[in-house]
Amino acid sequence: MTSEPLFPRLRAVTRPLTEIPDLLALADPVAPLAWIRGDRGCVGIGEALRLSFTGPDRFERAADAWRAVSAQASIDDPVQLPGSGLVALGTFAFADDSAAESVLIVPRVLVAQHRGTAWVTLVSEAAESERAPHVPAAIPAGSWPGVAVDPAPGSEDDFRAAVAEATERIAHGEAEKIVLSRQLLGAVAADADLRVPIRRLAERYLDCWTFAIDGLVGASPETLIRSTGGAVSARVLAGTRPRGANATSDAHSRDALLTSDKDQHEHAFAIDSVVTALTPHVRELNASEQPFALELPNVWHLATDLGARLADDATPIELAGALHPTAAIAGTPTPVAVAAIGEIESFDRGRYSGAVGWTDAAGDGEWVIALRCAQFGPAAAGERQITASAGGGIVAGSDPDRELAETVSKFRPIVEAFGGPSPAPSLF
């Protein structure tokens, strides 16, 4: 007796395109599914499969599920590039006990590009009649009214108090670093075109991955893991300074970051956590000799790039799970810091500072830390609630006012992208 498969048998048919389309113009305005960085990226239209996970084993169960789905899938892929064939986009919650679902979504149609090459993939269940993949028509631009996201009353004082509590715990030897966050809240009409702020993020933050997956929208500068053809890479960020108002003050801000003992110390914690997590899965691990200053429109980040070769059959989802949470978004020692976050923060982070990205059936994928982002809730009473999040690492000597100011800088991408009304209808 043959048992029925746990997951549907999918068929993925990929075909090359002769022209590179405007990806965001194809996306659903109210439920966009997108992953974009410069001349690379994809958009998904519709859902062929949706898998949901919660709890401390969410990464492991997602990896197992994706292996099963991929193993039984029929894939016709003459393009043979990372992100062609069968692809899932996903986002994972930060905390093991979060109420937020972690999801993998296989789009019904995926349109993608990698530099000068573009393709379209159609995914269907194997029992469905076979159809040729094609690029859907562009969807005209809708309205974006301009949305303000603001602190809840008293939340800034709450954050200062949280920083003070974290520094006290650090002074008592409970931890060396605790990463704390805060939230901004807003609302937007249920039919607002989310592609407007997404496009702004993609155009302004070219060194970031801009994403829109299951209502989570943002532009992250921090690569959790990238695995392509056996090559593995990560970008670690820890230590931040706001951009200066002019060239002189900007150079001073950058140099202060590069010479700061506090930021260098914080950065070292983050590097160590990534190296420790990756070592069982890779060989030939190397890192940039010294941290460098990563220039973004809103801040300077202290950054280190790591590279390695995959030494086992770990999938990108498994690697992301092994790395999460890093010291950069949790603290050191990480288990102690995570517990402290749960005790000090008065809210569920949801998917903020979790993992967001994609994986394909060939074993390639990219996952970033969900930073500079906001979660859109479901439509209710004609509008959608918005929760934006940002945070920073608290170490010995951290000043509550300075840490609050750092979060203001980190909120800038979302605040600015959401803030203005739609441009002319020619956007798409």
- Residues classed as catalytic: 177, 222
Q: Could you give the CA distance from residue 189 to residue 376 in angstroms, rounded to a whole number?
A: 11
Q: Which H or E run includes 267?
A: helix 261-278
Q: Could you give the CA distance from residue 11 to residue 19 in angstroms, rounded to a whole number?
A: 24
Q: How far is CA 34 from CA 105, 148, 240, in A?
A: 11, 23, 27
Q: Could you give the CA distance from residue 301 to residue 305 in angstroms, rounded to a whole number?
A: 12
Q: Could you give the CA distance from residue 275 to residue 300 in angstroms, rounded to a whole number?
A: 23
Closest CA to 49 of 3, 103, 91, 102: 103
Main-chain phi, psi angles of 320, to 5 degrees: -60, -40
200-238 b/e with 16+ CB inside 10 Å = b? bbbebbeebbbbbbbbbbbbbbbbbbbbbeeebebbbbb
Q: Could you give the CA distance from residue 286 to residue 167 in angstroms, rounded to a whole number?
A: 33
The C-alpha torsion from 72 through 76 and 82 to 83, rounded to 10°, is -80
Residues 366, 369, 373, 377, CA torsion sign: positive
**Amino acid (1-letter code) at residue 45:** I
User: Could you write out the three-class secondary structure of 268-283?
Assistant: HHHHHHHHHHHHHHEE
Closest CA to 29 of 188, 153, 196: 196
